[in-house]
């Protein structure tokens, strides 16, 4: 692993199903983020974690949950997927929240049908 890795890269999901998007980084960064990116809206923060064991809500947290059991992993769970959650999801990490450059995973393209 080099940098930050997301899985899966793409997924088609039936509405109502539960889904976990995985994110792992090997840079020992304290802060991690989940964004969704929709055409014309830019990146919107879903949830974040400033350090292992803590999480916080971003701009659009409804329908999503996260956990940060250790420094490296930051999974995002959709409890019951809806079509409006169709988007490209990016996980990112930075050495400290907001003050240093963020490194992004390659993204997960999720389609909820």
Partner 1 sequence: GQNIDQPTEMTATEGAIVQINCTYQTSGFNGLFWYQQHAGEAPTFLSYNVLDGLEEKGRFSSFLSRSKGYSYLLLKELQMKDSASYLCAVTDSNYQLIWGAGTKLIIKP
Q: With residue 85 as reference, give the H or E element that holds it.
A: none
Nearer to partner 1, 1 or 14 (CB): 1
Q: Cβ 17 to partner 1, closest distance in Å?
A: 25
- Whole-angstrom distance, CA of residue 67 vs CA of residue 47: 10
Please say whether the dihedral angle defined by the alpha carbons of residues 18, 24, 28 and 30, taken in this order, is positive or negative.
negative
Q: Cβ 66 to partner 1, closest distance in Å?
A: 16
Q: Cβ 61 to partner 1, closest distance in Å?
A: 13
78: nearest Cα among 65, 97, 95: 65
Nearer to partner 1, 75 or 107 (CB): 107
What burial letters (b/e) apply to 67-82, b meaning 16+ CB within 10 Å? ebeebbebbbebeebe
Nearer to partner 1, 48 or 85 (CB): 48
Residues that bind partner 1 (CB under 8 A): 33, 35, 40-45, 48, 58, 90, 96-99, 101-107
Nearer to partner 1, 15 or 38 (CB): 38
Q: Cβ 82 to partner 1, closest distance in Å?
A: 23
32: nearest Cα among 11, 1, 10, 53: 53
């Amino acid at each position: 692993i080099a940098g930050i890795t997301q899985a899966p890269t793409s997924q088609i999901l039936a509405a109502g199903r539960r889904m976990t998007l995985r994110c792992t980084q090997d840079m020992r960064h304290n802060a991690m983020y989940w964004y969704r990116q929709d055409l014309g809206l830019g990146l919107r923060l879903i949830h974040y974690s400033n350090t292992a064991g803590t999480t916080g809500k971003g701009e659009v947290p409804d329908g999503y949950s996260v956990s940060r059991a250790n420094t490296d992993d930051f999974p995002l769970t959709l409890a019951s997927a809806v079509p409006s959650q169709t988007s490209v999801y990016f996980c990112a990490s930075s050495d400290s929240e907001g003050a240093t450059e963020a490194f992004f995973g390659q993204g997960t393209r999720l389609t909820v049908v």
